[in-house]
Amino acid sequence: MTFGARLAAAVADRGPLCVGIDPHRELLLEWGLTDDAEGLRRFTDLVVDALAGHVAVLKPQLAFYERHGSAGLAVLEDAVPAARAAGALVLLDAKRGDIGSTMAGYADYLRPDHPLAVDALTVSPYLGPDSLEPARRTADEFGGGLFVLARTSNPDAATFQSALVGERSVAQTVVDTVGRWNSPDRAGGDPADADQQGRWGPSTGSHGVVVGATLAELDVDLSGLRGPVLAPGLGAQGGSVADLRRLFGDRAVVPSVSRDVLRAGADAAALRAAADRWTAELSA
């Protein structure tokens, strides 16, 4: 199955919630854990055990594992297959962006023989559309997905993302590029299904964009995307379910929550309850 089809199936079964796994130093200490590889392992194992069987997507932030060196990556190498075995899709939040063979190396996270093989990867497009081609090719070859930074939720994002390239903003150029990747002709699908690919279903495209849930208004046109939107910013960053509906309507959206779930603390039942509250609100 393509990543888009797997994601649509997971959302149908579990709801659209994505929970970020962000074990920064302050959170480890709040949980009563040590800020070292052992504390990182205990944190990650608890989150995966509590949530991998309940939510559609888990999104570990690679930086918080890399800061512990090889021991931190070893924790993630154990956690990712465990999460996938429990039914969660794993989106590695790495925001990689480079050119040529270097980008192809980053894209190897999407290969099934990689020691840290994941379902999808976040990438940065700011070296130009062609810089993403090695990642797109790897994703398409092995049934993976990409989420490309487009219109993000950080306050100064518009400095670059709203700049014009001809008559289009940079963000719109990113969305249009990803939409072409998802076109039925290129993806081997039926062109008759093209109008359905902006919503959940078997023809959901495998490549999406990142658009923040905290935007005052949606200033990019997503009608040609034909794939999912990763929408960070719910909860602690100020975004709400009402914002999702206002911005995206009935599009295929993966809302991402981190702090509002993880602050439930080192208790599996409490973590599940926090995730379940978001899932119920998203489904209401």
Q: How far apart are CA 157 and CA 214, in angstroms?
A: 12
Give the number of other Cβ atoms within 10 Å of residue 223's Cβ: 11
Secondary structure of the chain in the HEC alphabet? CCHHHHHHHHHHHHCCCEEEECCCHHHHHHCCCCCCHHHHHHHHHHHHHHHCCCCCEEEEECHHHHCCHHHHHHHHHHHHHHHHHCCCEEEEEEEECCCHHHHHHHHHHHCCCCCCCCCEEEECCCCCHHHHHHHHHHHHHHCCEEEEEEECCCCCCHHHHCCEECCEEHHHHHHHHHHHHCCHHHHCCCHHHHHHCCCCCCCCCCEEEEECCCCCCCCCCCCCCCCCEEEECEHHHCECHHHHHHHHCCCCEEEEECHHHHCCCCCHHHHHHHHHHHHHHHHC
Burial of 141 from C-beta contacts in 10 A (0-12 / 13-18 / 19+): exposed
Euclidean distance between CA atoms 68 and 283, whole angstroms: 37
* 14, 41, 54, 95: the active-site residue: 95
95 is catalytic: yes
- The residues annotated as belonging to the active site are 95
